[in-house]
Amino acid sequence: MTAMNMVQALNSAMDVMLARDPAVIVLGEDVGYFGGVFRVTEGLQRKYGAHRVIDTPIAEGGIVGAAIGMGVNGLRPVAEIQFADYIYPAYDQIVSELARLRYRSAAEFTAPLTIRTPCGGGIRGGQTHSQSPEGVFAHVSGLKVVMPSNPYDAKGLLIAAIEDDDPVIFFEPKRIYNGPFDGDPEKPAESWAGHPMGEVPEGYYSVPIGQAAIARPGEAVTVITYGTMVHVCIAAAADLGLDAEVVDVRSMVPLDLDTLAASVEKTGRCLVVHEATRFGGYGAELIASIQERCFWCLEAPIRRVAGWDTPYPHAFEWEYFPGRARVRRALQALMQEAP
Amino acid sequence: MKSRLHVPSVPARPGEEPDFSYVRLSPAGAVPRPPVDVAVRDTVHLAEGLVRVLDGSHQAVGPWDPRLAPDVLRTGLREMLLTRIFDDRMQRTQRQGRISFYVRSWGEEAVSVAAAHALRPGDMLFPSYRNQGLHISRGIPLVDLMCQLLSNTRDMCKGRQLPVMYQSVPKRLFTISGNLATQYPQAVGWAMAAAIKGEDDIAAAWIGEGSTAAADFHHALLFAKVYRAPVVLNVVNNQWAISTFQGYAGGEQRSFAASGPGVGIAGLRVDGNDFLAVHAATTWAAERARAGHGATLIEHVTYRAGAHSTSDDPSRYRPKDEFPAWPLGDPVERLKQHLIGLGEWSDPRHAALSEELEATVADAWKQAMTYGTLTDGPRLDPALMFEDVFKEMPPHLEAQRAELAAERAAGAAGGPT
């Protein structure tokens, strides 16, 4: 085990897979010589060559379109979209082609593609470097959608994604690349060193896609969340001295509803939290599914905390971000509801 | 001065005389054939000229003559004629309500059939929905094509695709998308992978001139240029995108092939109704790609003789009698006359071949119908709709499959469905 931050863990996942499988290649803007704007692919081109770690033109639709063809021709491409905010030029190739290739061809043509992309706010990125579009992709049949909340899961899930024969959209919450974030922007940045999930094996291992994790066990209330918000929710519950069970979804598609429902059946109360906008968001799916399964166990209506339904505003980042105070207020209100 | 919006002109609309004076022609044999490693900038004149082999008296002339053996020419003629007869028959079955939708390639048969003969069996083809000549030339049984059209129990796509969206893994024909131009960057990526792996198979893709407007076209050209991908990119300029004239795709006063050298890959503008010219151009581009000199954009100048699909009536947007006025003629007739001129074919043999192929198509149709149609006969199990969304079915789809089964069981028991 080695202490790694999420950037190093993701880099290690690609390093391991490039070494294990000659079909694996990495492509994207600035990923080669420079090693990526967040340094996630640093050193890989030096180690594996410019034919396997490929710098591309600034054309996301071209990156994904070409990667699909490479996948059909036996490669296992890992494409980086530099920011999730830039993924939309590739949307047609992802939704109309990649997601449905297996289906439309009765499984005769497939493209085992992983699309990595940094998402989320809290880095003063404004409305073009802060979005969380996981719900947009979770809604599309045929895509697996994943978001880790720590270095250990990041490496294990990325290896699982690369090995998966189905396309995986792999969201990386960039606010926690270098350390967990409890929602307080005034506090000095924390490091992953010393965090139990910052201890990462150097070699090969995988974390299965389609399984949620209990990030913090508890009895009083279930908080269902993922990505950066896992850490914000744990901190908010601690502020209140509340014995909350924080469930990290990890895999939006396929969804591990059994783990989520078991927790809600145990606690009887549920808060859903995500950074993405609220209206029609992924949280709505979580709430509907849990309500269908757990209605008679609920002691209070399910609540949710999410980003406001506005673009991500540069000057009002911390008023926008669904931070610790907003999560605390929602938890207090939820706990005050009579059973 | 105020600016004024330029609106591309359309040469003739319904009720007007056909006018093809805008089509720039070169005499057969006039365009030189450079070596396959020619510099991109030296293909500019090839992209603006018109590579033609068959002259007005159906003789093969000039440096692009591929000098094909009469047997190859007769096979090409047979496959073009089969494509046309198959198209006509399938069009009629759509009118009879047996299939939901059809797209003919009438008038464009040489574009597909000649290219199929110029490429190797290992080369991967990314067709559009009007390239059925590729499937026929590569030997996909007509019954298989028909079963796809019928979405029946032997449909290669298991009922998931519109008619004409064929595919074949063993024959290296990529699954066709109804979304235009998406296969273009995919073909380039496929070719890049072949180069990464050090293999000598190349890729070829086809789109219509209307689809060159799509971003995917430009991405494909750029990636093909940047990585010198071994790919042949074909633009089938059949003048019409449903009702929209090619001027609206940027064809006014420039060729589509010129986009090739514009971006940095070779360009060729070819008489798409000349079997020999298409064969020669494709052979040149394939050799260039295989030798590592990069991609070629080939514009095939042709004419969409029929409707876009069974869902539109071209007499509402263009003159009814345009095809006989089309300056590049009919590809089947031209190859037929060429063979007759060589003393290798005759009108009676042609008539006999037509009759034989009509019977072949009719027999195949009878056989295909035994596997069911969209409305009658044996049917695919609707539970199949839940398969192949993912390699392994996740719990939510298993639950939905069970829900549909319960719904259908209730229906079979006479309950509400």
- Note the pLDDT tens digit of each residue in B79-123: 999 999 999 999 999 999 999 999 999 999 999 999 999 999 999
**B 212-251 residues inside an 8 A Cβ radius of A:** 215-216, 219-220, 222-223, 226
Ordered by start, the domain boundaries in chain B are 40-308+324-369, 387-412
Chain A residue closest in CA terms to B196: A51
At residue B65, φ and ψ (nearest 5 deg) are -60, 115
pLDDT tens-digit series, residues A235-288: 999 999 999 999 999 999 999 999 999 999 999 999 999 999 999 999 999 999
Q: Which residues are A273's β-sheet partners? A: A305
Instruction: For residue B388, list chain A residues with Cβ-Cβ distance below 8 A.
Output: 102-103, 106-107
Whether residues A106 and B157 touch (CB distance < 8 A) is answered with: yes
CATH fold for the domain made of B40-308+324-369: Rossmann fold (3.40.50)
pLDDT of residue B411: 86
What CA–CA distance (Å, rounded) separates A308 from B69?
A: 71
Q: In this structure, what token pair is assigned to residue B307?
A: 């409707």
Percent of chain A with pLDDT over 90: 98
pLDDT bucket at B309, cuts 50 / 70 / 90: very high
A244-248, strands of its sheet edge to edge: A213-216, A244-248, A221-225, A270-277, A303-307
Ordered by start, the domain boundaries in chain A are 2-200, 213-336
Task: Give the mean model confidence (pLDDT) for residues B151-169.
Answer: 97
Q: In this structure, what token pair is assigned to residue A217?
A: 């066990």
Query: Looking at the partner chain, which of A61, A109, A141 has a beta carbon nearest the beta carbon of B389?
Result: A141
Q: What is the DSSP string of A205-266?
A: ----TT--EEEE--SSEEEEE-THHHHHHHHHHHHHT--EEEEE--EEES--HHHHHHHHHH
Most A CBs within 10 Å: which of B196, B202, B398, as the mutation test of the A interface?
Answer: B196
At residue A9, φ and ψ (nearest 5 deg) are -65, -40
A:B CB pairs within 8 Å: 138
Task: Give the mean model confidence (pLDDT) for residues B366-382.
Answer: 93
pLDDT tens-digit series, residues A203-220: 999 999 999 999 999 999
What CA–CA distance (Å, rounded) separates A185 from B212?
A: 48
A21 part of contact set with chain B, CB < 8 Å:
no
The Cα of B391 is separated from the nearest Cα of chain A by a number of Å equal to: 7
The Cα of B329 is separated from the nearest Cα of chain A by a number of Å equal to: 36
Most A CBs within 10 Å: which of B192, B201, B385, as the mutation test of the A interface?
Answer: B192
Residues of A with catalytic roles = 129
CATH fold for the domain made of A2-200: Rossmann fold (3.40.50)
pLDDT of residue B415: 61
Q: How many residues does chain B have?
A: 417
pLDDT bucket at B11, cuts 50 / 70 / 90: very high
Whether residues B193 and A69 touch (CB distance < 8 A) is answered with: yes
The matching CATH number, chosen from 3.40.1280.10, 1.20.1250.20, 3.40.50.920, 3.30.565.10, for A213-336 is 3.40.50.920
pLDDT of residue B416: 56
pLDDT of residue A339: 80
Query: What is the ipTM, given to two decimal places?
Result: 0.96
Query: Looking at the partner chain, which of B157, B177, B188 has a beta carbon nearest the beta carbon of A96?
Result: B177
pLDDT tens-digit series, residues B187-245: 999 999 999 999 999 999 999 999 999 999 999 999 999 999 999 999 999 999 999 99
pLDDT bucket at B307, cuts 50 / 70 / 90: very high
Task: Give the mean model confidence (pLDDT) for residues A332-339.
Answer: 92
Average pLDDT, whole number, for chain A?
97
Break chain B down into helix, strand, coil percent, rounded to 5.
45, 10, 50
Instruction: For residue B166, list chain A residues with Cβ-Cβ distance below 8 A.
Output: none
Chain A residue closest in CA terms to B392: A166
Of A189 and B124, the one with more pLDDT: B124
Task: Give the mean model confidence (pLDDT) for residues A71-99.
Answer: 98
Task: Give the mean model confidence (pLDDT) for residues A279-299.
Answer: 97
Asked if B354 contacts B332 with a C-beta cutoff of 8 angstroms, the reply is no
Asked if B335 contacts B80 with a C-beta cutoff of 8 angstroms, the reply is yes
Most A CBs within 10 Å: which of B162, B184, B388, B396, as the mutation test of the A interface?
Answer: B388
Count of helices and strands (H, E) across chain B? 12, 7
Task: Give the mean model confidence (pLDDT) for residues B280-292.
Answer: 98
Whether residues B391 and A166 touch (CB distance < 8 A) is answered with: yes
pLDDT of residue B1: 83
pLDDT tens-digit series, residues A97-125: 999 999 999 999 999 999 999 999 999 99
pLDDT of residue B186: 98
CB atoms within 10 A of CB B39: 10
Whether residues A65 and B191 touch (CB distance < 8 A) is answered with: no
- pLDDT over 90 at B315, yes or no: yes
Instruction: For residue A141, list chain B residues with Cβ-Cβ distance below 8 A.
Output: 389
The Cα of B154 is separated from the nearest Cα of chain A by a number of Å equal to: 12
Asked if B329 contacts B274 with a C-beta cutoff of 8 angstroms, the reply is no
Q: Which residues are A34's β-sheet partners? A: none
Chain B residue closest in CA terms to A66: B189
Asked if A227 contacts A119 with a C-beta cutoff of 8 angstroms, the reply is yes
Whether residues B182 and A255 touch (CB distance < 8 A) is answered with: no
Predicted TM-score (pTM) of the model is: 0.97
Q: Are A2-200 and A213-336 in the same CATH fold?
A: yes
Query: Looking at the partner chain, which of A51, A67, A104 has a beta carbon nearest the beta carbon of B175?
Result: A104
Instruction: For residue B161, list chain A residues with Cβ-Cβ distance below 8 A.
Output: 104
pLDDT tens-digit series, residues A165-181: 999 999 999 999 999 99
A288 part of contact set with chain B, CB < 8 Å:
no
Percent of chain B with pLDDT over 70: 99
Query: Looking at the partner chain, which of B167, B185, B192 has a beta carbon nearest the beta carbon of A108?
Result: B167
**A 196-255 residues inside an 8 A Cβ radius of B:** 210, 253-255
pLDDT tens-digit series, residues B252-277: 989 999 999 999 999 999 999 999 99
